Structure formats: C-alpha cells, structure tokens
Structure 1
C-alpha cells in the first residue's frame, strides 16, 4: 500500500526582492532546500548503519541542484514553479528500505521518463518507509514546464498502485483524498481529532458489545449514530449533533463494517462475560467518570466575591466543560465536539490569559484592543525603521551598540504585539464555535444525567 502526494516548489516574491543582490538566495533557494531535505543524511539512517538511499534520475545525486539550475538557465525558466516535490509513503512493515527505494526510482522513471530530472531519496525517520521525489519543473530537451494538474496527480497515484500490485503489496481501495498537513500529523500523533475520537468510541463500544443492537446503543450513548445496514452501500458514522456522515472505511480497515462484525464475533467467542459486565457498568453510567456539579467561577471568597461575567465567564465555563477546571476535579466532556476541542487547549489558554490581562469584557472590547495594537505596531515599526537608518550611518562603535540594542528591543516588542493581535483575532473567530460547543455539551449533560436519575434498578416484571 502506498500513499502519494505532489505539490509545487515556488519561491516567495518578497524574498526575491529582499535578496535580489544575492543570486544564491533568490530563485533557487526553495528548490535547493527541497533537494537538501530529500537527501538529508540523518533521515536515511537505520540504527547506527549509515545507509544512504539517494538516486538521481536523469541527473547525478551529488550535483542535482547544479544540473537542474543549468537546465532552467539554458531555457530562461528561472521563475514561477521551479520544481515539484512528491512523496510515496508505504504501509509500516510492508516493505524493506531497498524495495521502497527501488519502487521510488521506478515511479520516477515511469512518470517522468527521460524528459525531467528527478532526485529520489528514501527516508526512515517517521517510522514508515517513504520516498521523496524532487522534480525539475523544466524539460531537459525542449524547455517546456511540467504541467502538474489534477491529471498528473491521478497518473502518479495510478503508477504507484501498479508498482504495488506488481510487487505483491496492498493497494488502497477507497483513498481518503487530500489530508491537510496539520491534520495528518495530529492523526499520526494520536491527538483527539474527529477521526481519532470516532476510532476511540468504536474501540470502547466493541469491548462491551456482542451484537449490533448493543453496539449501536453504546455508540449513541458515546455521542455517535452509526449505520451498519447491510443494504446500504457504505456503513457510516456521525455525531448525534451533526447531519454530516463519515464513511467507516475512512477510519481504516479495522473500522469498516465487516471488520466491526468480526470483532463483535471475537468478543462473543472469547470473553462474553467480561463484555456483559462492561455493558452493565456502562449502562449504569459508572464508566463516564464525570463529576456532576455546577461551576461557579468567582473572585476571592465564594461567599463575598463578585461573580465573573462576559468573555471571562464564557471561557471559564468552556474550560470547565472541557475538563480543565477545576484542577482538583476529574471529569471528561461527553460530546464528540468538545472532546475534539481538547486539541486547542493551548490556544484557548492564551485567549483567557489575554482577556484577563487586558480586562476584555466583550467582542467590542476585543475589536478595540486590535485597533490599539495595530496603532502601536505601526508606531514601533516606524521607530525601528529610523533606528535601522541611524545604524547604517553611525560610525561610533559605542553609539552603534546602543542603537542595535534599541532595535532589538523594538523587534521583541513587535513580536509580542503581533502575537497578542493574533490571539485577539482568534477570540473573535472562535467565539461562535465556543458558544455552539457549550450548548451541545450542556444538552448532552442534561440528557445523560437526566437519564441516570430516572433509571430504575432491578428488573420490571
């Protein structure tokens, strides 16, 4: 099984203008970085053995940058998309380093033939074997630029799948499509993303479910509606608070309809008594680990203090529902939306800190803070420009040192102001979603806790 992706390597216009006097840092800076990253020695080491798997197709690996640069200069194609960066990632444990590199070189030859220069490097640093392919955007013979359209992407994936089939590797039947880079690494690191939370809920439900009816019930109590209807083409899952469904195969092979049925049968065959016990405890609401209490966020003494209102109260309530406050109480959010929001705790903590430090009470005060911060940024930026001019024209060493120190202080102040402005802008951006998540979580709490209070013990005859 191999996953593929390709994207353009293009230089920043602002950087070209800023470093125009230094040709080595202009047009080719990005392509050079891509080549350096692909052939970086530390990423091609297995244990203590220095095993370099770097191959040039239509070029020499050691001089790939100079050769690509020469072709671009020959045809005067040194601007725009200077190269393309593609990767081919294999399933963990399915290929050896040698086979992975061989498939990467063959992919480059079938995709770009003898028309384009390609550097192929095999990496092992992420725990999975994957190839990086850096492609010169300019044809070696006629100077035409490679047209990296949607068709090129599908061709790249098709060739990769063909190579996997030829070498007895699995092929993805239902590709997930393009995954944002940040989400990809969040999924890989096990952060509470939407898909990871779905997988976690399914895993938990399967430990106590021996039949589809029990599984569906437990999933609903965990905040998900799951459709395993065999007459539907795809099995789906969605949050009880959303109408958007996700096909189960997108969560992985272990979470598709057939795999779920197999795991239920295994539970029934291997340890049904444990599954029944867990199911009973779950339906008694003992496994949620939620402390039922009202949150009062006050200043000072509980009896005499004034209750907090405005944005501070909104964020404190939000952090309480996320399970962060109070620190001495352990409770977890119930809704999938709030569990996913745990990914952004650092972001929300910074927002609360800004609100408290600057006494921001509502959205209008946040907007005023942004305007004032913009004015301050402009003033300090103008002053720093003046310092730069003074430094250039100053010939006194001691005076120049003082000016440089002032410039550095301005740079630090600007960095903090820009950070605060970004946090303030996020307060405005996140405000509607926070209110929506609070409403969802409180509705689920009233539903679950109400169900728990009205539940009767024993059996009805």
Structure 2
C-alpha cells in the first residue's frame, strides 16, 4: 500500500525553500521536475520567478507531501517514480512540482515540493480538507492501476492514525484527544439518550454540542482539565483518528437505543423475579 502524508511545517522564506529542496534533493536516488528543473539547486529560483511574476512572493513558499510505500510492497524505484509523477500531475495542475525518491528507510518514499503559486493563473494553493481527501483518492486509484490495492488494507479498529508528527506524539503520551475518546467510550457503555450522554460527559468536564440541524457533533474540553491548546474536537475527527466506525451521529444513537432496550429488559426481569419467589415461598409454606 501507499499513503499520502502532508508535512505541515512549511517555511515562508526563500531560504526555507532552498533548505527543504537541499534536504530532499541531496538524499534522493531519483529526481524529477514537473514544470520545473530536476536539479534541486535550480528549483528554488524557478519557483521564485513564478511568484515574482504574479507579485506573490510573500507567505508560504511551498507545500511538502510524502508518498510512502509499505516495506511489504515489492516495487522498484522506477515504478515508485512513475506513480509519483502520475499522482503529482493529477493533483497539482498548473503547479511546479519537484519530486525526490528516497530509499534511506525500510520503505521507499517520494517527496513532493510544490510551488504554492500556480504558474498558469497565479492562484495560491490553499488546500482544504476535502481537497486532501481527493488527492488521497487519486493516490488509491493510481496505486490500484499498478496492482497496489490500498482499499484492501485493513487497519484494526482503535488503531491510531495521524499524518501530523506532533499530533501523533501527543496522542502517544495521552493528550486531550486521547482522554476525550476514552471518556466517550466509557460513557457509551451506559448512556441511553443524547441528554443522558451530555449530562454524563458534563460530569467529566466535557461539553457536548449536539444539534440536529448541524452535521457535526463537537466536544469542548473544560479549561480545568485541558492540557493542550486545542479545546474543541469533532466526533468525525475522533472517528478517523482512532478508526472507530461507531463514532457517528447514527452510531451513537444506535448505542443509546441498545442501552435503553437492555435496561428495559433488565428491569422487567428484576420486577418479575421477586414475584415468582414470593409465590413459590407461599406455596412451600402451604
């Protein structure tokens, strides 16, 4: 399988652009330039020429992506480069993209340094979340063409996934997002309605924003237990981060209903058992 990662820390200076190009270029076994030079020492100047032409030399200078293949994939460097080129051409129309193939780890991987300014229309690359998901879909499609089936990859439920290194280590240490998820799972064992769920979460210092007219359920961490800077988390983000299919509005509502039915059944059993016991006792006394 092959996955797409985004390196979120990208510089805003010409020097930072040259540094990242040197980093990926010096270690590369293969390089390729889409609308730019394949010599990493010349790419920064070409990127800047485009920015200067459209008078957009400020702000973020580049975007950095990584396409990583599993060590289990039997794939050559040539095929990795082919897949990298196809993915970049479909994902970044009108942009200059420098590609560098690395083999310095257990798995082959490709680095993509993308000019944030489109050389055709001068528009800047401002990627939204749904656009990143689209790029991942393109990656899946191309890999499938090469016999690499990303869709068949099974990730165990509850396994953490994160494309942000800082976020990953925060979760490993047990940060706010992890504690919130554990709390939700504990409360889901007993909550029978949205109201009860919200009340029980409030007792643990979490506010639940659940509105039928809004798509997302949002959790707010009270300042009294907050460890990090971010105090709001969407249920959808928790679902993706921890691979928990039940973390949807419908999934939680189903659990509430199951818990409610279970409680009703237990109450019926409790209410009928004493009656039978008393009746049997009287019969024995007679």
Does 2:42 correspond to 1:57?
no
Residues 82 and 137, structure 1, Cα contact 8 Å, conserved in 2: yes
- Which structure has the larger Rg? 1
Deviation at 1:243, TM superposition (A): 4.6
- What are the equivalent positions in structure 2 for 1:130-279 lying under 5 Å apart? 130-172=109-151, 177-182=161-166, 193=172, 243=183, 245=185
Residues 6 and 163, structure 2, Cα contact 8 Å, conserved in 1: no
Aligned to 1:35: 21
Residues 9 and 30, structure 1, Cα contact 8 Å, conserved in 2: no
SS of corresponding position for 2:81: helix
Relative distance call for 1:55 and 1:179 in structure 2 (3 A) is closer
CA offsets per residue over residues 16-50 of structure 1, 9 Å max, x none?
Answer: xxxxxxxxxxx20121122112212xx33xxxxxx
Q: Within 2, Cα distance between the matches of 1:165 and 1:104?
A: 13
Aligned to 1:124: 103
Residues 7 and 164, structure 2, Cα contact 8 Å, conserved in 1: no
SS of corresponding position for 1:156: helix
Relative distance call for 1:101 and 1:186 in structure 2 (3 A) is farther
Moved over 2 A (4+): 6-12, 172-180, 182-187, 242-246
Which structure's relative contact order is higher, taking Cα pairs within 8 Å and 6+ residues apart?
2
- Return the match for 1:111 from 73, 81, 91: 91
Per the normalisation by structure 1, the TM-score is: 0.34
Q: Within 2, Cα distance between the matches of 1:39 and 1:102?
A: 18
Relative distance call for 1:168 and 1:10 in structure 2 (3 A) is closer
Does 2:4 correspond to 1:4?
yes
Deviation at 1:151, TM superposition (A): 2.2
Relative distance call for 1:77 and 1:151 in structure 2 (3 A) is same
Aligned to 2:66: 87
Q: Which has the higher strand share?
A: 2
- Return the match for 1:77 from 56, 68, 72: 56
Does 2:76 correspond to 1:96?
yes
Q: Within 1, Cα distance between the matches of 2:114 and 2:83?
A: 16
Unaligned runs of 5+ in 1: 13-26, 45-51, 188-192, 196-237, 247-428, 430-461
SS of corresponding position for 1:81: coil
SS of corresponding position for 1:147: coil
Residues 116 and 136, structure 1, Cα contact 8 Å, conserved in 2: yes
Q: Within 1, Cα distance between the matches of 2:8 and 2:58?
A: 12
Unaligned runs of 5+ in 2: 187-226, 228-286
Residues 8 and 81, structure 1, Cα contact 8 Å, conserved in 2: no
Relative distance call for 1:96 and 1:185 in structure 2 (3 A) is farther
Q: Which has the higher helix share?
A: 1
